[in-house]
Every structure is written in C-alpha cells, then in structure tokens.
Structure 1
C-alpha cells in the first residue's frame, strides 16, 4: 500500500500506483476525504501534455498547487490519465 501524507494526515492510499519519472500517480478515488481544492495553475510537459493542479486543505492549512494531474495526456503517458501526483512537502511512502 502506498500512502501520501501531508500535515500529519493521510490524503491518499492505494495499491494501484503508476510510477512515472519517480512520481507515484494515485487513482483519483484513492484521495481520503475532501482535501482537494481546484487551482487555476497549469503546466506543460513536452511528452505528457497539459497538467492541471489542486491545492490541499487539511486542518485549516493550505498547500498551494501540491497536487497535479493529466486529465487528457498525450498517448505516451496514457497510463496516468486522471491520476494524481503529489509534491511540495507531501510524503509518499
């Protein structure tokens, strides 16, 4: 089981992880509770495509743009479609 934690709270757990470039991509349904907040931030990867971001909100604290996803990645990255990855202090183990 792979777990993502931030601010002492489990935010995602799954045994269905896809690892790309050292990042664990979790199924969206593995997120525990209502911790995701939509963000206007986007970024572009030459081989994966356009990423969109979420901020985390846990116990009144916000971690801005700590989650990213590729809802419609390029064919080379199809396996991460709709999955979520974490950074900015989120511990994945």
Structure 2
C-alpha cells in the first residue's frame, strides 16, 4: 500500500485535465544500451505521458541488468509521482551519472510505475523500441 504521508512542504497533486498523466503498456520490445552493453531487454515496458513533456519509457526492474547500475545519493521530488531516486551507469562514464531514475513508492495515481526505471535518452547510447517478438508459431 502506498503511504500518503508526506512532509507539509511537499504538496501532493492529482493528475487531471490541467496536468494529465497516462500510463500504457508499450507494445514494443525495448532495448537500452550503454558502452556497447545491453542494460535492458524487455517486452514489458510502460509509456508514461505527462502533460506537455515528452513520453517516457519505464522498464521493469526485473528486465534490467542491475549489476551494471550504481545507486547515487541524488534525489528529486515530483508532486504528481513522489520521491525519485537515481542510479548511474559506471560503464557509461561521466555522461551516465544519474542516468536512471525510479519512483520506488510512487503515489497511487501512478502506482503502475512501481518497480520500473527510466533512462535519460542523452545519457545512454540508445533506447531502441523494436517490433515485439511474435509469440505465434
């Protein structure tokens, strides 16, 4: 269950007409590479569209090679999603510092992104959205 306890200085906002947020299953196979290494290969990604911002692909933690990531002390806050934690990708060098973010306890309105991470496109080699592998024979 998501805790709604937040410091008074941190307002919680609910997505709505003035600031819509949608989360949908991404139909593509998503592959993220850094320094020639595949960090992610998943067919279970989500796409989050928020207001006027570019769409963000969130990938499930289970499909990420977490051994290639290093948690940092960097943290931010979003009144729509909650507290945000970051990871760097050491193999990517300086540009891959804080290249990955996650909302580990997101607010209820965006609970689907729990256990998912997102990558800054300019801090990795590529975030490829490829046709999903067919399950038909």
Q: When the two structures are superposed, what TM-score results if normalisation uses the length of structure 2?
A: 0.62
In structure 2, the CA distance between the partners of 1:83 and 1:33, relative to structure 1 (3 Å rule), is closer
- Contact 1:3–1:92 (CA<8 Å) still a contact in 2? yes
- Distance across 2 between alignment mates of 1:33 and 1:40: 17
Task: Indicate whether 1:20 and 2:54 are aligned.
Answer: no
RMSD, aligned α-carbons: 1.5
CA–CA distance in structure 2, aligned partners of residues 34 and 68 of structure 1: 15
Q: Which stretch of structure 1 is more off in the superposition, 75-84 or 29-38?
A: 29-38
Corresponding position of 2:68: 35
The residue that corresponds to 1:51 in the other structure is 84
1:12, distance to aligned residue in structure 2 (A) = 0.7
Tell me which protein shows more strand as a share of its residues.
Answer: 1
The question of whether the paired residues in 2 share the 8 Å contact of 1:36 and 1:55 is answered with yes
- In the alignment, structure 2 segments of 5+ residues that lack a partner are 1-28, 50-54, 129-137
Contact 1:36 1:56 in 2 (8 A): yes
The runs of 4+ residues in structure 1 deviating greater than 4 Å are none
Task: Judging by fraction of residues, say which structure has more helix.
Answer: 2
How many aligned residue pairs are there? 92
* Larger CA Rg, structure 1 vs 2: 2
